[in-house]
Structure 1
Amino acid sequence: MASKLQPISNKLPVFMHGADYNPDQWLHDPKIFEEDVRMMRLAKCNVMSVGIFAWSALEPEEGRFEFGWLDHVLDTFAENGIYAWLATPTGARPTWMSQKYPEVLRVESNRVRNLHGVRHNHCFTSPVYREKTAIMNQKLAERYSNHPAVLGWHISNELSGECHCDYCQNAFRDWVKAKYKTLDALNLAWWASFWSHTYTDWSQVESPAPHGETAVHGQNLDWRRFVSDQTLDFYKQEVAPLKAANPELPCTTNMMDLFYGLDYRTFAEELDVISWDSYPTWHSLPSDRNVATWFAFNHDLFRSLKKKPFMLMESTPSLTNWQPVSKLKRPGMHRLSSLQAVAHGADTVQYFQWRKSRGSSEKFHGAVVDHVGHEHTRVFQDVAELGETLANLTDVIGTSVPAEAAILFDWDNRWAINDAQGPRNGGLNYENTVVQHYSAFWEMGVPVDIVGSNDDFSSYKLLIVPMAYLLRQETGEKIEQFVKNGGTVSVTYWSGIVDENDLCHLGGFPGPLRTTVGIWSEEIEGLHDHDRNSLVMNSGNALNLDGRFEVHELCDLIHVETAEVLAVYGDDFYAGRPALTVNHLGDGKAYYLAARVSEDTFYQSFYDKLVEEAGVRRTILSALPEGVTAQLRTDGNTDYVFLQNFSGNEVSVALDYDGYVDAESGKAVVGQIEIPVNGASILRRITDYKL
């Protein structure tokens, strides 16, 4: 039975509601800060992230530190019941540092060093940059780690990028030596005999370069792993003096929407709490369903990293200034999109930014306080109203999302897929494929975890394995045992192709999953964008599904060994060959989908059957209108059902239980509930309810 987890901070055991705040940009006008504090209270904002890019204000010259302004900010916060995630300012370095120590600036893959500018244009390996960071963080820790307003540390900002300088080349060689121990092992893992690229000395190892080595896939993959590990090592170095001063203060760094460059699973092991920045492109179509499912997947991914509530560190209260079109949020969308994060496990709603910058590249990015400088705006009122809603939902803090289904998603798999050179260099669409499978569960209102290969699968009833191209032998064995123990797994085409070194499995695909799914994949065909085939359900198949469904992009030509055929291809020279199979193994079942189906209706029908077969829990048993989802959080005694309408229309949802109570008003809700356009309702029920 679920139970409540500890709040992110015992200093503020309620929903954190606030924003990134840059008082260092307004030191010339003290009245601005006075007004900001007044309006923070008015908007029911109780937390701010402060100092994220404030290095120049904190250390205007090397060795000269100015903390008086930050003292005043934090002391005033404490007097007004406002708290701070205090940032380390390492996301952008001051100009004096770049001028005096050019080695801190990054070298690009073409081996040319950057000029000073932008953010994260610094080398995470540079001894000077690490030294200057350690000095700054030590001083911040000594001064503020026991300040009453400080409830945690915000490390840097949106860590990203890579450097190819001599320091990084040496660090990469050290990383490779530690992993492989011998050159023979390295050459075998990288298959370096290809094109006679065998390494005979460690000094020959370099990072991939546009004018150098790019064709050794194992090397490309290890470079990405190294960049991720080296960035994490920099994060750990940042945290060390902060934890030494006060180990009780949590540390986080804000992650990004399905970010490609860093393996966030390894980061999760070091973070005390997960935080991320969410910027959907709402209102590009009449229905926001597709955007909603993409970001729901992200919310579930970040929650799953530590299996506990996360922080929505950044979102926009109105619009962005960097997307192709800066669309305003329609009425209701601010509340709906914020509660979407809460529904999937967020215990904070925070924004970029509190007050708009007057100049430079973010002067037109959305903010709670616009350039007009007062609270009499639509956006401010939206924020204040959400603050009221969150204040009434304190009981949700620390509750969990009880997922009995999981989707396998690994960073090194996506890196390897995108470097595969075949079978469709025009786009294998791994990420979109994973989210297409996820969308079926979103439509059904089935809670889902997003898991990695090293996670424990035993607590789940249903495991989805889409395009697991890079699949380690031990992961395949773990999935096989999951099925033998009674679990249901659904595997797709282009799975079990290579091992952890991007070397092809021998003995037939899908490699370590061949026994589990009971098929052998002989060939896979990449289809042109205009090509189509079809998947035709067999009459009387075990799932009792009917119909003919369009397939595109990839078609796997398979032979059944121990599996049963549920559907076949309808066209081309492989018409009549298996396209969907099921294999019984031990106490469980393994399904294999041999092609990418175009139509969402197939996935909805297919996974509806698998959810029913496996006995996977749904949030509610009622049928949900298209574009509407129901998400669940629970403490084991009380369930909180979040009904969210992204359909673009007013909808009515029939309820499956007569004992629902509106979580905000406390009023009973019986029969059905009307949800307006961009609407969200939060219902409470006891967990032993009877349908």
Structure 2
Amino acid sequence: MKRALDINQFLHGGDYNPEQWWDEPDVINQDFALFKQTKINTVTVGIFSWAKLEPQEGNYDFSWLDEIFDRVEEMNGHVILATPSGARPAWLAQKYPEVLRTDNRGNKRGFGGRHNHCLTSPIYRKKVYEINTKLAEHFGQRKSLVLWHISNEYSGECYCDLCKDAFRKWLKNKYGDLATLNHAWWNTFWSHTYNDWSQVNPPSPLSEMGNKGMNLDWKRFITDQTISFIDNETAPLKKITPNIPVTTNMMAGNPLMDPFAGFDYQKVARHLDFISWDSYPAWGNDSQTTEELGRNVGLIHDFFRSLKHQNFLVMENPPSRVNWHNFDRAKRPGMHELASLQDVAHGSQGVLYFQLRASRGSSEMFHGAVIEHRHPEKTRAFKDVTKVGKDLEKISPIVATNYAKAKVAIVFSYDSYWALQDAESYSVNKNIWQTIQKHYRYFYEHDIPVDFVSSEDDFSQYDLLIDPMHFLMSKSYLEKIDNYVKNGGKIVGTYISGVVDENDLAYMNEWPKELQEIYGLEPLETDVLYPGQSNLINFEGKEYPVHDYCETLINCTGKVLATYSTDFYQDTPAIVEHSYGAGKGYYLACRTDYSFLEKFYEKIASELVPEIPITKFNDRVSIQIRENKSEKYWFVQNFSDKEEKIELSCELVNLLEDVKDKGIVSLKPFESKVYTLSR
């Protein structure tokens, strides 16, 4: 049975913890009155509520939550019900101390914090299964329930004896015997050969941190153990409420806006019905322009949307400030509406906040909220949220559309990312995600839709694959891209690719044959430059700077597009184009600035720019497309604090203002417009 998020309006609301105010009913009455004012139609409840739901072992009290469901249903709203496994009650930790985590130095944690639980613990899994069963049985038929939100921001690792034993079993299942494991981890180095499974332990500063195969397999194990925990969480929900989809809130880094890399989200996504993520960009920071940050947020939206190649949900989003940023600056006027509509433009089915009412005490009491501690109706955040609520009502038909189909995909592999981050020789900071952001920039600025794909996805629907810094390549992946290019696809590869196999063992004697045939060359040596050093390449009669990495190439049979200008490899190939079968491979042997990438992609990808009845005059304006079989909608957003202009080639309906526009149109600072051809 397909488990989709079936809604007819954009979700607007967020995390709500009424149990904090249960002895002050006037506060809760005020909340629901303010929800009506701000067009809040969705509450996410139950997160971190275990102690209120089960105050003593086996003694459940759902009456308070029943009242919240009743009140939401009175306002024809939606409930996202969370499972409480992200933070266990004190009685559980006291009675069953095995549920608490052990760090990589062998220290057992005491009660406290979030995510302080062992993923392996049978008792913790049993208790989570029990309370999830009770929640599903009790609330599963409520008409307002639209989505299960399991746990909260899964993260972290445990090194207790239970987890060590589980790791050994995982390795036995993967390798079969110690001889195979010893070879895969290259354990003859430093005399690390194992002759008994009990000798195998996870990476630890107290023992071994330098074994690449061990480190990589530990990350894979943590991924699979997290998936196993998720499957245990979701089993009763899927059994009792088969029509209600399941999600969990994923994370991105700040300020880099890279995906959380503690485990593999691409694998985890297969065990969820719907993707959600928590968006906390540092709007108004002093190191990026709003345009630059907006581009990086657009990229991470595209990443999470691509996990299941369907619309997603921004589960958490700050109404204004964030208490855990180093500097908690408030959003400038207009920025909240800009950010919220960008969420929707890239495929979000709503805008949800952390948090609806600010906590009076504890660790997140100063985190921004829709309803602040004092004069809640007077705050700018409250007014901004109200404006967004009205916007979402005006564009409600768009909820039945999808983000535009992409012809370009960027390959991202967690295995490769982990392995390259763990590799010496290539400098301390490889800037893998920043490199992806640079390649993405051309497509974002030219309003070309982009997907992200794993090494196991189907590539056949894409005209162009961008495959930067793909350090670890399995044999199956090599065969896949070989077939993709042979059959007419175009691929862009870069320096530091195809260096090791799936066990993080170096490819010997020559570069993999598939890569030689695709790119028509072989990398021989990587010159790693110091931060203050650079080289130049000559491309179409103009010189462009290159930094960090310069590979020398041999056996080059392709067309040389650029050569190095200095150093011992002066005049040798730096950028190569090679025809293979019906397709082409492009190899970038050095790290360039965007100034080169812009010209390069203009040369090979300009035909992918979609036909849009809107012309913009600079890259500070972004245009994103959502569509279905009968309609297209264009989100036009000004990520500048200056007025910008656009030109419409035909009359378009401006949904936010309920007017028709044509010709030259002005966009105020941070303003968004949403257009369609007809009402």
The equivalent position to 1:86 in structure 2, one of 78, 81, 84, is: 81
Q: TM-score, normalised by structure 1?
A: 0.94
Structure 1 residue 129 corresponds to structure 2 residue 132: no
Q: Which residue number corresponds to residue 440 of structure 1?
A: 442
- Matched-pair contact (CA < 8 Å) for 1:468–1:495: yes
The partner residue of 2:422 within 419, 422, 436 is 419
Report the CA distance shift for 1:308/1:619 in structure 2 as closer, same or farther (over 3 A): farther
How far apart are the structure 2 equivalents of 1:576 and 1:68?
76
Mapped to 1, the partners of 2:88 and 2:34 lie a distance apart of: 31
Q: Paired residue for 1:26, among 4, 21, 24?
A: 21
Matched, 1:409 2:412: yes
Given that 1:581 and 1:591 are in contact with CA atoms closer than 8 Å, whether structure 2 keeps it comes out as: yes
Query: Pick from 593, 604, 607: which aligns with 2:601?
Result: 607
Assess, with a 3 A threshold, how the Cα gap between structure 1 residues 329 and 220 changes in structure 2: closer, same or farther.
same
Deviation at residue 507 of structure 1 after TM alignment = 3.5
TM-score (ref. length: structure 2):
0.96
In the alignment, what sits opposite 1:617? 610
Cα distance between partner residues in 1 of 2:579 and 2:325: 48
| Separation of aligned partners in 1, 2:613 and 2:457 | 27
Q: Read off the aligned partner of 1:360 and give its amino acid letter.
A: S
Alignment partner of 1:9 is 2:11: no
- What amino acid maps onto 1:654 in structure 2? E
> Are residues 620 and 478 of structure 1, via their aligned partners in 2, closer, same or farther at CA, if it must alter by over 3 Å?
farther
Quickly say closer, same or farther: Cα 1:466–1:685, change in 2 above 3 A: farther
Distance between the aligned counterparts of 1:585 and 1:660, measured in 2? 44
Which secondary structure state, in structure 2, belongs to the residue aligned with residue 152 of structure 1? Answer: strand
The question of whether the paired residues in 2 share the 8 Å contact of 1:626 and 1:647 is answered with no
Residues 100-499 of structure 1: pairs in structure 2 closer than 5 A: 100-257=95-252, 258-285=259-286, 287-372=289-374, 374-400=376-402, 401-424=404-427, 426-499=428-501
In 2 relative to 1, CA 591–116 (structure 1 residues): closer, same or farther, beyond 3 Å?
same
Q: Would the alpha carbon gap of residues 685 and 582 (structure 1) be closer, same or farther in structure 2, given more than 3 Å must change? A: farther
**Do the aligned partners of 2:447 and 2:609 also contact (CA within 8 Å) in 1?**
no
Aligned to 2:256: none
Could you say what secondary structure the match of 2:174 adopts? Answer: helix
Would you say the 8 A contact 1:404–1:616 is kept in 2? no
| Equivalent residue number for residue 649 of structure 1 | 642
Please report how far the alpha carbon of residue 157 of structure 1 lies from its aligned counterpart in structure 2 after TM superposition. Answer: 0.2
Q: Which amino acid aligns with 1:562?
A: T
Contact preservation (8 Å) 1:508, 1:522: no
Take 1:663 and 1:505, find their aligned partners in 2: how far apart are those partners? 56
Deviation (angstroms), 1:468: 0.5
Does residue 66 (structure 1) correspond to residue 61 (structure 2)? The answer is yes
2:652 to 644, 652, 660: 660
Q: Secondary structure of 1:534's match?
A: strand
1:3 is matched with: none
**Aligned to 1:670, what secondary structure does the other structure show?**
strand
For the Cα contact (< 8 Å) 1:314–1:351, is it kept in 2? yes
Distance 1:666 1:138 in 2: 47
Cα distance between partner residues in 2 of 1:511 and 1:327: 52
> How far 1:510 sits from its partner (Å)?
6.0
Contact kept in structure 2, 1:496 and 1:512, CA below 8 Å: no
Verify the 8 A CA contact 1:620 1:630 in the aligned structure 2: no
Q: Distance in 1 between matches of 2:176 and 2:670?
A: 57
Q: CA deviation at 1:456?
A: 0.5
> Secondary structure of the residue that 1:360 maps to in structure 2?
coil
Report the Cα distance in structure 2 between the residues aligned to 1:59 and 1:259, rounded to whole angstroms: 31
SS of the equivalent of 2:579 reads: strand
Identity rate, percent: 43
Which residue is equivalent to 1:525?
Answer: 527
> Which is further off, 362-371 or 372-381?
372-381
The root-mean-square deviation of aligned C-alpha atoms, in Å, is 1.7
Shift of residue 530, structure 1, vs aligned partner:
0.5
In structure 1, C-alpha distance between the alignment counterparts of 2:637 and 2:670, rounded to whole Å: 8
SS for the counterpart of 2:625 is strand
Secondary structure class of the residue paired with 1:299: helix
Match of 1:639 among 632, 641, 655: 632
How do residues 540-619 of structure 1 correspond to structure 2 at under 5 angstroms? Answer: 547-598=542-593, 600-612=594-606, 615=608, 617=610
Deviates more, 1:269-278 or 1:657-666: 657-666
Find the partner of 2:623 among 630, 636, 640.
630
Residue 199 to residue 7, structure 1, CA distance change in 2 (3 Å): closer
- For residues 134 and 3 of structure 2, the distance between their equivalents in structure 1, rounded to whole angstroms, comes to 28
2:46 is equivalent to residue 51 of structure 1: yes
Alignment size in residue pairs: 670
Kept in 1, the 8 Å contact 2:643–2:666? The answer is yes
Q: Residues 466-515 of structure 1: CA distance to partner in whole angstroms, max 9, x if unpaired?
A: 10001112212211222222221111111111111111122423664221
Q: Which amino acid aligns with 1:269?
A: R
